[in-house]
Amino acid sequence: MIVIKSPIDLEILLNKIRGNNKKIGFAATMGALHDGHISLIKRSKEENDTTVCSIFINPKQFNDSSDLEKYPRPIENDLILLKEVGADIVFLPDYNDIYPQNYIEPEINLSGLDNVLEGLTRPGHFKGVALVVKRLFECVNPDVAYFGQKDYQQTLVIKEIVKQFKIPSDIAVCSILREKNGLAMSSRNIRLSAEQRERASFIYKMLLQLKEDVKSLPLKEALNKAENILLKNEGVQIDYLTIVNQQTLVPEETLNLGKSSVALVVVDYFGVRLLDNIYL
């Protein structure tokens, strides 16, 4: 496994690999790796000759400076995990490598995808995601880039940037890896106590129940029931629970089961923001 900090060194190495007709897969992360991240690397390894993983905590996507400060940075352990899973190249840039002094932010239009849901509670977040992903794609130029369905809205934002800037990479969306109790894996889960983490299974249970309920109940009724399931749990505040179109994120009036809808939920659970979603 090669660890590279400089975008120029990375470009030289990847050009050599590409020259040998090797396919390059890429997973972008902010570190504090867990099995969810590792599942992206595993899939990339299955489908490509060389797998690159980046670790970069992007300040431009944090609208809350204390969230940025608190973000875990267990880099040595991350490198051990990446070596174990067989990542070929780890890209570990500094802030100035990604945003050099002469960097000019490109105009980015996210077609309104950034003004809803996560965008409402985290203004500027998706613009920051778009900027970093665009820069990372310039550095890695992968054949395929792997992103998690867990950050559903983010996958749409990334597809939009790829389209807008004509980036010649395919985007693969990977299913959500869960803890044994169903809680979606997240770097933030370590902020929960062991007991809270165990109890947090109620989020996925609610989503499974909702998926069943929409088959027989009117949409509003199914959503009300789901909200009540969430609110029965101590320490929960619902940020949003909604059923939207998979492409546009516009709330659904009626369901086209198995085709176009996704249920998205975000709760604050004892001060930790937990995201999850399910296709309906």
Q: Please give the positions annotated as active site.
A: 37
Please report whether residue 185 would count as binding ligand AMP according to CB under 6 A: yes
CB 32 within 8 A of CB 78: yes
Contact window for ligand AMP (CB under 6 A) among 16-24, 30-38, 43-51, 120-128: 30-38
Please report whether residue 122 would count as binding ligand AMP according to CB under 6 A: no
Distance in angstroms (rounded) separating the CA atoms of residues 199 and 193: 10
CB 145 within 8 A of CB 28: yes
In whole angstroms, how close is the CB of 75 to ligand AMP at the nearest point? 13
Please report whether residue 148 would count as binding ligand AMP according to CB under 6 A: yes
Site for ligand AMP in 187-226 (CB under 6 A): 187
Reading the block at residue 266, the tokens are 């975000």
Instruction: Output DSSP code: residue 270.
Output: T
Interface pick for ligand AMP out of 40, 130, 136, 144 (rule CB under 6 A): 40
Contact window for ligand AMP (CB under 6 A) among 81-89, 177-185, 192-200, 248-256: 177-185
Residue by residue, DSSP assigns 117-151 as THHHHSTTHHHHHHHHHHHHHHHH--SEEEEETTS
Which lies closer to ligand AMP via its Cβ, residue 153 or residue 196?
153
Please report whether residue 25 would count as binding ligand AMP according to CB under 6 A: no
Which lies closer to ligand AMP via its Cβ, residue 33 or residue 230?
33
Please report whether residue 37 would count as binding ligand AMP according to CB under 6 A: yes
Half-sphere exposure of 260 (CA within 13 A, CB side): 12
Please report whether residue 153 would count as binding ligand AMP according to CB under 6 A: no
Buried/exposed 223-245: b ≥16 CB within 10 Å, e otherwise:
beebeebbeeeeebeeeebbbbe
Contact window for ligand AMP (CB under 6 A) among 63-71, 106-114, 181-189, 217-225: 181-189
Please report whether residue 277 would count as binding ligand AMP according to CB under 6 A: no
β-strands 236-245, 170-174 pairing:
unpaired
In whole angstroms, how close is the CB of 162 to ligand AMP at the nearest point? 14
Q: Say how far residue 206 (Cα) sits from the centre of its chain.
A: 21
Half-sphere exposure of 243 (CA within 13 A, CB side): 26
Interface pick for ligand AMP out of 87, 130, 174, 200 (rule CB under 6 A): 174
Positions in the binding site for ligand AMP (CB under 6 A): 29-30, 36-37, 39-40, 147-148, 150-151, 174, 176-177, 184-187
